[in-house]
Amino acid sequence: MPRSARSDFLRVGLLFGVIAVYLCLVGVVEAFKGRWIVSNVLGLGEAFLLITVLAAGYVTARRTGNRIAAVPAGVAAGALAGGALAGLLLLGGWINLRAMFVNASPTLFSLLAFNQKPGTGSLLLVLAGAAAGAVGAVLYLIPSQARRVLLSGLFAVFILSVFQELLQLLLQSPGPPTAIRDLLFGPIGPSPGGAALVCGATWAVAGGWNLRRKAVREKIAGLTPSGRRRLRIIGILLSITGLLLVPIAGGPFVAQVMVLVGLYTLMGLGLNLEVGFAGLLDLGFVAFFAIGAYTVALLTSRGDYGTLHLSFWQAVPVAMVVSMISGVIFGVPVLRVRGDYLAIATLGLGEIVRLLVLSDALRPWLGGSFGILSIPRPVIAGFELSGPRQLYYVTLAASALVAYVAWRLQYSRLGRAWVAIREDEDVAQALGINLVSTKLLAYGLGAVFAGVAGAIFAVMVGSVFPHSFQLLISINVLVLIILGGMGSQWGVVVGAVALVGLPELLREFGEFRFLVYGAVLVAMMLLRPEGLVPSAVRQRELHEETEEPSGPQPISAPAGTIAGAEGQMGE
């Protein structure tokens, strides 16, 4: 085996071995050993370890660059990862690890030892790791199309297991849904037949798409402009129909989750104007969300702190105006602050708003820590929108309207001015852009979008409390923009679904949701820093230096000379 291959399998094997040991010691393996991917065949806890060792073999084979040495390197990396688990098993037999790690329990060690003695179990772990590493290496060596089809079926079974509680809830209606549920699931999880059916169906669909993908793309490329327009309209209509059917097909729980996704989408679209377009890092954005919620609460509440007893539809425009004025006032003190100092200043202003709401001085008007209660639901034509299914449509309509406004702003003169300020404030000012008015418009319009989200939140909960508007909301909104893609409208939506929707749907995983959440964020920043759905400009900015030149480049003279300047302009 070449020296480079030896160093690769050592580094990769040790890395994935440490990851496997970490999963054991934080309790992931033991917590999910009883959650079956396939009933009485493979549990989710064991699957995490298996995937880790498979990944060791796959990554090692990929880094080797030699098809002959790929399988031996994968076997060695897998054996090394399994050896790390064997070391944990033997160490647990010699000393009481539970004094330091509460999850180092006898149940975990029994699982790692395959219910054998520690010595025998350690040997089995190394052999199983070597076998899994070999499978990972072979997985890399097979053709890419076959690998994608194979992994798609296995991934579908994994998703079936992860979302089994939600799927069984959705399939509890009498008739065909119940028959499908009984076919796919047994008493303790997905049945072997159901898993095989899902895997086979996914393989058939993925294989058919692989065979027809090139022809479909060529056919789409050959369409006339009017034909492409019709195809785009059909896609939009199908998407709208799917969104309208979500609360009907998903039930109240899914509708409630989608309302939260919609609220974060509204806030994300607002913060995207400030951060994604204008480059104004704002960590106090939750203040506008709170101002919108409190404005609607004060104007509509039937409790002690209600004032005018307006309807929701009458109060929302007032909340938008108040939020805009607050955004402008919020932006004035930080006009001359940039970068990290801007983030700290906005963080302080956001905390000031929260502390003012909590203060005794404003308690006679805002309720202090007791909040404002008895906020009525929206009413349309005598029909009260009381449940999450009805409020879902309100949130969907608001999100669509705000997204359209944000899209129009992005390609307007104001949007281009924001982008210029983000790139270089001094150059933008030299080109005649009024920095004061342009920045204040970004703060004001972003605050309007957050105020709408706060208004919907107030009627959804029926009460508002200061503790509902913590700093973590601002951080989550900022993270979903970065995760989805800064400056991208679709990125905000995708980021909200990934960051808010999926964790809510996976609440049964408890505290491990945040472990996965953090790992995904770290992986995203390393592997795809531009986001899931980046804007074209952002993608060019982050990958400009790594792109290979497409052709021969002119030789430029040294910097500082006229020839050098001309050569750089030619490039």
Residue type, 123: L
- The full length of the chain comes to 571
Residues 480, 493: Cα–Cα separation, whole Å: 9
Q: In this structure, is residue 323 part of a structural domain?
A: yes
- What is the pLDDT at residue 493? 92
Range of the domain at 79: 1-141
Task: Give the CA angle between residues 387, 392, 398 to the nearest 5°.
Answer: 135
Tell me, what DSSP letter sits at residue 556? P
Same domain, 292 and 425: yes
Q: In this structure, is residue 192 part of a structural domain?
A: no
Same domain, 392 and 525: yes
Helix axes 435-461, 225-272, angle to 10 degrees: 90
The first and second tokens of residue 435, run together, are 């920095």
The average confidence (pLDDT) of the chain is 86
Please give the average per-residue pLDDT across 464-485, as a whole number. Answer: 90
- What is the pLDDT at residue 477? 93
Q: Which of 174-178, 185-189, 288-292, 449-453 has the lowest mean pLDDT?
A: 174-178
The enclosing domain of 423 has a CATH number of 1.10.3470
User: Contact 261/426 with Cβ under 8 angstroms?
Assistant: no
Of 141, 171, 197, which residue is a domain's last?
A: 141
Alpha helical stretches, state H, 311-386: 312-331, 339-358, 363-366
How would residue 571 be classed by pLDDT, with cut points 50, 70 and 90? very low
Same domain, 1 and 126: yes
Of 141, 158, 173, which residue is a domain's last?
A: 141
Same domain, 270 and 408: yes
Q: Above 60 in pLDDT, residue 566?
A: no
Same domain, 348 and 487: yes
Task: List pLDDT tens digits, range 409-441.
Answer: 988 999 999 999 988 888 999 989 999 999 999
Task: List pLDDT tens digits, range 52-75.
Answer: 999 999 999 988 877 888 899 999
The first and second tokens of residue 331, run together, are 């932006």
Same domain, 260 and 392: yes
Residues 348, 352: Cα–Cα separation, whole Å: 6
State pTM to two decimals.
0.85
Task: Give the CA angle between residues 92, 97, 101 to the nearest 5°.
Answer: 130
Residue with tokens 């290979």: 548
Alpha helical stretches, state H, 175-224: 176-184, 192-221
Identify any residues that bridge with 38 across adjacent strands, giving them in sequence order. Answer: 42
DSSP tally for the chain: helices H, then strands E: 25, 4
Same domain, 127 and 263: no
Domain count, the chain: 2
Q: In this structure, is residue 550 part of a structural domain?
A: no
Q: Above 80 in pLDDT, residue 293?
A: yes
Residues 535, 358: Cα–Cα separation, whole Å: 40
Same domain, 388 and 247: yes
Of 111, 141, 171, which residue is a domain's last?
A: 141
Q: In this structure, is residue 173 part of a structural domain?
A: no
- What is the pLDDT at residue 543? 62
Q: In this structure, is residue 175 part of a structural domain?
A: no
Q: Above 50 in pLDDT, residue 80?
A: yes
Same domain, 246 and 109: no
How would residue 4 be classed by pLDDT, with cut points 50, 70 and 90? low
Please give the average per-residue pLDDT across 77-86, as a whole number. Answer: 94
